C-alpha cells in the first residue's frame, strides 16, 4: 500500500476516533472539507511533504500525537479552533530543510547547529502563512518554542504575550517528546515521570495553569494505538 494511502487512512481513523471521543465533542469542526483554505488543504500538504521528505516522515507520528493532545487540551480550556489543530499538526514542518545529522545528533549541539534548528519556528510560520494563507495557525507555530519565563525563541515573548495555542502546542510537544520520542536515543519517561517534569517547568517553561489542565485531560484520554509507532 502506498505511504500516502496509509496516511489518508490514519487521518480518517483519527477523525472517526475524535467523533467518538467524549473530550473532543465538537467533531463537526474536524470535517476534512472545512480544512481547506484558499484551495490549499493543510493535511494534504502535510501528507505530501511527509511522503517525499525524510525529515517530516520522522516527525509524522509525533505530529499526529501533538495534534491529538493539543486538540484535547484546547477543548478543555475552551480555546479550540481549527487553526490550533492545523498548527499542532504542522508545528515542525519548518524542520523539512534541516539536515538529519543535526536533528538526530545525540550529543550536545554546537551554537550554529542550535541556531539552525531554531529556524524551524520561523520557516514553519512562513510556509503556513504564505502557502496556506492561515495567519493564525502560522502565529501558533511561530510561538511553539516560546517559554513562559521569556527565555524561548524566536521572539523571547513573556507569559501571556505568547498565544495560548502556542503555549498548548509547546506543552504537548514537550510531553510527547519525553514519553514517546526515541529520535535522540534518550530514555523514554513514564507518564508519571513526565508529569513531574512538566510540573517542574510550571511558570518557567510552561503556563502552569495549562500543565494542571493537561494532567487532568490525560487521565481521560488514550492516545490511539495507530498514532504510536
Ligand atoms: Fe518545534
Ligand atoms: Fe515537535
Query: Tens digits of per-residue pLDDT, 189-218?
Result: 999 999 999 999 999 999 999 999 999 999
Ligand nearest to the CA of residue 121, numbered in listed order: 1
Contact present, 32 and 15 (Cβ < 8 Å): yes
The partner residues of 40 in beta bridges, in order of sequence, read 37
* pLDDT tops 60 at residue 28: no
Query: Quick count: other Cβ atoms within 10 Å of Cβ 81?
Result: 15
pLDDT of residue 35 exceeding 90, the answer is no
Task: Give the model's pLDDT for residue 11.
Answer: 55
pLDDT for 39 equals 43
Question: Does 59 or 137 have the greater pLDDT score?
Answer: 137
What mean pLDDT do residues 106-134 have? 94
Name the β-bridge partners of 206: 202
Mean of pLDDT values over 136-146: 98
What is the average per-residue pLDDT within 179-194?
83
Average confidence (pLDDT) over 160-174 = 98
**Does the pLDDT value for residue 1 go beyond 70?**
no
pLDDT value at residue 48: 78
Set out the domains of the chain in order of their start, with CATH numbers: 3-227 (1.10.3210.10)
Confidence label for 183 from pLDDT (cuts 50, 70 and 90) = low
Tens of pLDDT along 59-111?
A: 889 999 999 999 999 999 999 999 999 999 999 999 988 888 898 888 899 99
pLDDT at res. 4: 52
Ligand 1 centroid to Cα of residue 219, in Å, is 25
Which ligand lies nearest to the CA atom of residue 152 in the structure? 1
Helix axes of 60-76 and 82-89: crossing angle, nearest 10 degrees: 150
Is residue 10 pLDDT above 50, yes or no? no
Per-residue model confidence as pLDDT tens digits over 149-166: 999 999 999 999 999 999
The bound ligand whose nearest atom lies closest to the alpha carbon of 98 is 1
Q: Mean of the per-residue pLDDT values for the chain? A: 84
pLDDT at 26: 38
Compute the distance from residue 25 Cα to the ligand 1 centre, in Å.
27
Residue 63 alpha carbon to ligand 1 centre in Å: 10
Query: What's the pLDDT at 3?
Result: 43
Q: Which ligand has its closest atom nearest to the C-alpha of 144? A: 1
Q: Which residues surround ligand 1, an ion (CB under 5 A)?
A: 92
Q: What is the DSSP code string of 113-147?
A: HHHHHHHHHHHHHHIIIIIT--HHHHHHHHTTT--
Q: Which ligand is nearest to the CA of 146?
A: 1
Closest Cα partner for 46 from 71, 30, 64? 64
What spacing in Å lies between the alpha carbon of 90 and ligand 1's midpoint?
9
Amino acid at each position: 500500500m502506498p505511504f500516502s494511502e496509509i496516511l489518508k487512512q490514519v487521518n480518517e481513523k483519527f477523525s472517526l476516533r475524535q467523533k467518538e471521543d467524549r473530550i473532543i465533542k465538537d467533531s463537526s469542526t474536524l470535517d476534512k472539507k472545512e480544512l481547506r483554505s484558499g484551495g490549499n488543504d493543510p493535511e494534504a500538504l502535510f501528507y505530501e511533504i511527509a511522503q517525499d521528505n525524510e525529515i517530516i516522515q520522522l516527525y509524522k507520528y509525533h505530529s499526529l500525537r501533538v495534534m491529538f493532545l493539543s486538540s484535547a487540551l484546547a477543548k478543555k480550556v475552551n480555546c479550540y479552533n481549527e487553526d490550533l489543530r492545523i498548527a499542532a499538526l504542522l508545528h515542525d514542518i519548518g524542520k523539512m530543510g534541516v539536515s538529519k545529522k543535526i536533528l538526530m545528533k545525540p550529543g550536545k549541539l554546537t551554537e550554529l547547529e542550535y541556531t539552525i534548528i531554531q529556524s524551524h519556528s520561523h520557516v514553519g510560520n512562513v510556509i503556513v502563512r504564505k502557502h496556506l494563507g492561515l495567519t493564525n495557525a502560522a502565529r501558533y507555530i511561530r510561538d511553539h518554542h516560546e517559554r513562559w519565563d521569556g527565555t524561548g525563541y524566536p521572539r523571547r515573548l513573556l507569559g501571556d504575550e505568547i498565544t495560548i495555542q502556542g503555549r498548548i502546542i509547546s506543552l504537548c510537544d514537550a510531553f510527547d517528546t519525553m514519553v514517546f520520542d526515541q529520535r535522540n536515543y534518550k530514555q523514554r519517561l513514564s507518564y508519571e515521570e513526565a508529569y513531574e517534569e512538566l510540573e517542574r517547568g510550571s511558570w518557567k517553561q510552561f503556563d502552569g495553569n495549562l500543565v494542571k489542565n493537561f494532567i487532568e485531560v490525560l487521565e481521560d484520554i488514550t492516545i490511539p494505538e495507530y498514532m504510536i509507532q
